[in-house]
Amino acid sequence: MTEHIDAIISEVNRLDDPRKRKTTLPDDALIARYEAATGFEFSEDYKKFLKSISNAFIGYLSPLTLKEEMGGVYGELRSAIEQGRSAGLPRDWLPICEDNGDYYCIAPDGRIHFWDHNGPTTETWPNLATWANDVWLGGA
């Protein structure tokens, strides 16, 4: 069963009160800056995810964040892209979550792939919502 991103957002907000989060969520302008800076065009689901719950902390994982000052910060998207690429992450995979040098990434076909520090694995999810349900919320 494919999870819908709105259901994931509701569940994350139920588990982690948005009013208690410290990190500011990105707006459309910041997302556009990241798209231009990284060369990736973010899907509508990923944009909604970023603007709604990318500052949430569930279980032991937290999504990569977008900051006004790009780069140089652990847990920030552009830094993760640079670190991942230097470790061999495919250039057309967009990391969405980093876990000790391992990455969950959106591939060009919209599927989420797990890439560990040794290279690609066979672990995939059909879309962002399914990954969020199975991995992010599943680890809570």
Counting the structural domains of the chain, the total is 1
Taking CA atoms, 103 is separated from 48, 53, 68, 84, 91, in Å, by: 20, 18, 22, 8, 13
Structural domain span for residue 26: 5-136
What CATH number has the domain bearing residue 39? 3.40.1580.10
Pairing of strands 119-125, 94-99: unpaired
Give 4-46 pLDDT, tens digit per residue.
Answer: 999 999 999 999 999 999 889 999 999 999 999 999 999 999 9
2 pLDDT more than 70: no
| Cα–Cα distance, 125 to 112 (Å, whole number) | 5
Give 47-74 pLDDT, tens digit per residue.
Answer: 999 999 999 989 888 899 999 998 888 8
